[in-house]
Chain A
Amino acid sequence: MLTSEEIAEIEQELAHYDRKRAACIDALKIVQRRRGWVPDDALRAIAELLEMSVDELDGVATFYNLIYRRPVGRHVVHVCDSVSCWLMGTDAITERFRERYGVAPGETDADGRFTVLPIPCLGCCDRAPAMLVDGILHTDLTPDLLDEALERYR
Chain B
Amino acid sequence: MMERPLTANIRPGEPPLDIDGYERAGGYRAVRKALTEMSPEDVLDVVRASGLRGRGGAGFPTGQKWSFMPRGDDAPAPRYLIANADEMEPGTFKDRLLLEGDPHLLIEGMIVSAYALGATIAYIFLRDEYRVAAERLKRAIGEAKERGWLGEHILGSPFGLELHLHMSAGRYICGEETALISALEGRRAIPRTKPPFPQLVGLWGKPTVVNNVETLCNVPHIVSFGADWFKGLSRTNDAGTKLYGVSGKVKRPGAWELPMGTTIRELLEELAGGMREGYRFRGLLPGGASTDFLVEEHLDAPMDFDSIQKLGSRLGTGTMIVLDDRTCPVAMVHNLEHFFAQESCGWCTPCRDGLPYVEHLLASIDEGSGQPHDLDLLEMHTRYLGPGRTFCAHAPGAMEPLQSALRYFRDDFERHIAERRCPYR
Contacts and interface: CB of A to CB of B under 8 A. Distances in A.
B171 A83 contact: no
A38 B59 CA distance: 39
A147 B91 CA distance: 25
B249 A88 contact: yes
A78 B189 CA distance: 22
| Residue of B90, B92, B166, B184 contacting most chain A CB atoms (<10 Å) | B90
Interface stretch (A3-11, A107-115, A118-126): A118-126
B39 interface: no
Nearest to A57: B186
Nearest to A125: B247
A59 B190 CA distance: 11
Contacts of A82: 90-91, 289, 335, 339
Contacts of B323: 87
A49 interface: no
A22 B166 CA distance: 10
Interface in A5-42: 16-26, 28-29
Contacts of B234: none
B107 to A, nearest CB: 16
B131 A66 contact: no
Interface string A69-113: 000000000100111101110000000000000000000000000
B275 to A, nearest CB: 12
Contacts of A81: 335, 338-339
B335 A86 contact: yes
Nearest to B249: A87
A139 to B, nearest CB: 11
B92 to A, nearest CB: 7
A150 interface: no
Contacts of A86: 332, 335
B47 to A, nearest CB: 27
Interface residues of B, number: 56
Chain B contact residues: helix, strand, loop or mixed: mixed
A50 B187 CA distance: 12
Contacts of A20: 186
Contacts of B178: none
Contacts of A17: 186
Given A18-B204, A83-B90, A126-B247, A132 B129 contact: yes
A78 B47 CA distance: 40
A65 B170 contact: yes
Contacts of A1: none
Contact of B248 (A19, A66, A84): A84
Nearest to B168: A25
A81 B249 CA distance: 16
Given A120-B342, A125-B321, A83 B91 contact: yes
B171 to A, nearest CB: 5
Interface residues of A, number: 45
Given A59-B188, A122-B129, A135-B131, A87 B332 contact: yes
B149 interface: no
A112 B125 CA distance: 33
Contact of B187 (A21, A28, A84, A120): A21
A122 B170 CA distance: 10
Contact of A123 (B93, B189, B335, B338): B93
Contacts of A22: 184-186
A110 B156 CA distance: 62
Contacts of B95: 123
B128 interface: yes
A64 to B, nearest CB: 4
A116 interface: no
B304 interface: no
A146 interface: no
Contacts of A127: 253
Contact of A125 (B253, B338, B345): B253
B256 to A, nearest CB: 10
Interface of A: 16-26, 28-29, 50, 52, 56, 59-60, 63-67, 78, 81-84, 86-88, 119-128, 132, 135-137
24 contacts: A16-B166, A18-B204, A22-B186, A23-B186, A24-B186, A52-B186, A56-B187, A63-B189, A81-B338, A82-B335, A84-B90, A86-B335, A87-B324, A120-B90, A120-B339, A121-B90, A121-B339, A123-B88, A123-B92, A125-B319, A126-B245, A126-B253, A136-B131, A137-B131
Given A65-B171, A121-B339, A126-B255, 6 more contacts: A18-B204, A56-B187, A60-B188, A63-B189, A64-B169, A136-B131
